[in-house]
Structure 1
């Protein structure tokens, strides 16, 4: 590009100084025309180069469109294969557990006879003193409250037959606490169906944290000796305690206890040094304690029945989900999950409460190795 001439520079500056009134647009274009770069040439070489590069660019763009498509299809194929393999595995697992449970149900059926249940557990090294179960409230299609109460009654009869003195039932909503009297009547009927009418049937007490307990089952006269169906005398009537737990006995209890201790500390009723782990443990355990006569044949003395930590927790569900169970009660507990034998593996359906699952939990507990340290 040639350098600007002095004449053109002078004309351009005059036009700028006058605000564009000295030269017309055509004169300005003519003035700048010699200094503009030359337009691109349309030579045959450039045409040939453009003709050779255009198909390559088109092919590169085509490849860029095909590769993401193949990559997406490959990912879909891998996902489908993984889903297929795990689906087959889950179905085979369900079939295996269902078949095993049916065989156990045929081999170890209680026939509503305590002697058969005692025969199934007599060779176990240990039996839990406190058994806890985690149940789920069923929908109306599955029986609702009636089915839940019937499951609790069956578990109570099995526990009494196996020699377990304390059974705690956890249901998240706490609906069982509002029907404690009806539940006690149903459990007494179930115990009578297994053991026979009183005094052969065990005495029962139903209680819940922070609620008054129901009266125990009526005890026979001490002058009339209790007898079984065969007529043999019973030295002492068996007793069963039934504890009802819900989600409000977990986190809400901790929150209420924390609030109460904080208010007492602010009002100088206690000092912060008095709030120790022993005090908190005592207050928490008091929520699952009840005072009253324990055994029907014993004298009517006031005795505290402390639930404490359960030795065994049986989760009737497809997977281990405590669902808000009070955390301080399962520090040293053995947890047994029934599995997906009676329900959907996704957890949409609840697992059935069956005797063979209850028995497998006792077997696992008897064979568990417990190491508490020094």
Structure 2
């Protein structure tokens, strides 16, 4: 823009001083016309690219708002379809298993008769010498402690009828250990209801780590019995019930570590002698079941039972959850999970103890193939 010359400047100032009465509007335009820059704006007809720029910006802004919305809706639809398909599959599987297991329960029911249980397991190639089960403490709505103890009593009766000499029950809280005497009495009544009164009913011994064992009083040895009146074999069946809890896992290792450390500091044991074999022997000693002695102080003939590693572990639940089970006792154990049969069709995840689940676990154990590597 060129500077104003002296004449035009004087005319402009006089017009301003007079309040715009000296020059008219057209004269003022002509005065400033020579000093204005050339016009650079174009009409839409002359520059179509500049006219389309606002439309493009508007279209881009619209796409930025629509695409995330459509993507979110697409993800929601895909998630809903996946959830629907798997939900239908799980429900159909639960219905199928519930139907099959109910039919199996009708076909194979014990009727509180040991002969029926023996008939169901007589063709099995092997029976576990040590059976372990994992149970959960139920809420008061599901029966609480009474329901838990009744399940343990039922398992004891089934195990005794199937010829299993040792049954260990794992319950995380350890509440069964505080009721060992009532539990022993309840199990004894359950055995009598199945087998009949003594001496037909199996003898029972209930024990737990770091707890004194509870055996029936004034009864002969479970391994040596006199001949019965009917001339049958006087050998009376015997069942050992072993109670485990979460404290038997972690706390046992802590106590053993503390004891060995104190003995090493007191120079009662050489630290080099603390080996894996020693630790294994000490841990096994806490769960050992020694055969009862006769009146003359000698052990009866027969195999000595030890509560070591169980041959079979039954998890009464929908998933395999050991829930703090002592790890050194299940290194070589066969683990069987009840699965969907432990809950109803609604998938509540109940842990009911049923005979057909117990029987299926024995069938699976009999048909399992064991590969012991080095």
Structure-1-length-normalised TM-score? 0.83
Q: Which residue of the partner structure matches residue 226 of structure 1?
A: 228
Q: Are residue 312 (structure 1) and residue 318 (structure 2) matched? A: no
Summarize the Cα distance change of 1:141–1:301 in structure 2 as closer, same or farther, 3 Å threshold: farther
Q: Which residue of the partner structure matches residue 284 of structure 2?
A: 285
Distance in 2 (CA, whole Å) between partners of 1:347 and 1:274 is: 52
Give, in angstroms, the shift of residue 224 of structure 1.
6.2
Summarize the Cα distance change of 1:104–1:267 in structure 2 as closer, same or farther, 3 Å threshold: same
Q: Deviations over 1:107-154 (max 9, x none)?
A: 111111111100000000000000000001111010000000000000
1:190-205 superposed matches below 5 A: 190-205=190-205
Distance in 2 (CA, whole Å) between partners of 1:298 and 1:191 is: 26
**Secondary structure of the corresponding residue to residue 350 of structure 1:** coil
Q: Are residue 135 (structure 1) and residue 135 (structure 2) matched? A: yes
Q: Which residue of the partner structure matches residue 176 of structure 1?
A: 176
Q: CA RMSD in A?
A: 2.7
Q: Which residue of the partner structure matches residue 246 of structure 1?
A: 245
**Secondary structure of the corresponding residue to residue 201 of structure 1:** coil
Contact 2:91 2:345 in 1 (8 A): no
Q: Deviations over 1:283-303 (max 9, x none)?
A: 111111244617xx8976468
Give, in angstroms, the shift of residue 42 of structure 1.
6.2
The runs of at least 4 consecutive aligned structure 1 residues that moved more than 3 Å come to 38-42, 45-51, 220-227, 297-305, 344-349
Contact 1:136 1:350 in 2 (8 A): no
Q: Which residue of the partner structure matches residue 41 of structure 2?
A: 43
**Secondary structure of the corresponding residue to residue 306 of structure 1:** coil
Contact 2:341 2:357 in 1 (8 A): no
Q: Which residue of the partner structure matches residue 163 of structure 1?
A: 163
Summarize the Cα distance change of 1:367–1:292 in structure 2 as closer, same or farther, 3 Å threshold: closer
1:321-332 superposed matches below 5 A: 321-332=321-332
**Secondary structure of the corresponding residue to residue 133 of structure 1:** strand
Q: Which residue of the partner structure matches residue 188 of structure 1?
A: 188
Structure-2-length-normalised TM-score? 0.83
**Secondary structure of the corresponding residue to residue 93 of structure 2:** helix
Q: Which residue of the partner structure matches residue 215 of structure 1?
A: 215
Summarize the Cα distance change of 1:249–1:141 in structure 2 as closer, same or farther, 3 Å threshold: same
Summarize the Cα distance change of 1:298–1:90 in structure 2 as closer, same or farther, 3 Å threshold: farther
Summarize the Cα distance change of 1:344–1:254 in structure 2 as closer, same or farther, 3 Å threshold: farther
Q: Which residue of the partner structure matches residue 74 of structure 1?
A: 74
Distance in 2 (CA, whole Å) between partners of 1:161 and 1:40 is: 112
Distance in 2 (CA, whole Å) between partners of 1:273 and 1:345 is: 57
Summarize the Cα distance change of 1:240–1:41 in structure 2 as closer, same or farther, 3 Å threshold: farther
Summarize the Cα distance change of 1:55–1:99 in structure 2 as closer, same or farther, 3 Å threshold: same
Distance in 1 (CA, whole Å) between partners of 2:285 and 2:346 is: 37
Contact 2:153 2:186 in 1 (8 A): yes
Distance in 2 (CA, whole Å) between partners of 1:241 and 1:286 is: 16
Distance in 1 (CA, whole Å) between partners of 2:167 and 2:215 is: 17
Give, in angstroms, the shift of residue 171 of structure 1.
0.3
Distance in 2 (CA, whole Å) between partners of 1:354 and 1:78 is: 39
Q: Which residue of the partner structure matches residue 263 of structure 1?
A: 262
5+ long unaligned stretches in structure 1: 3-37
Distance in 1 (CA, whole Å) between partners of 2:98 and 2:225 is: 50
Distance in 2 (CA, whole Å) between partners of 1:191 and 1:127 is: 20
Q: Deviations over 1:249-297 (max 9, x none)?
A: 0112112211221222222221211001110001111111244617xx8
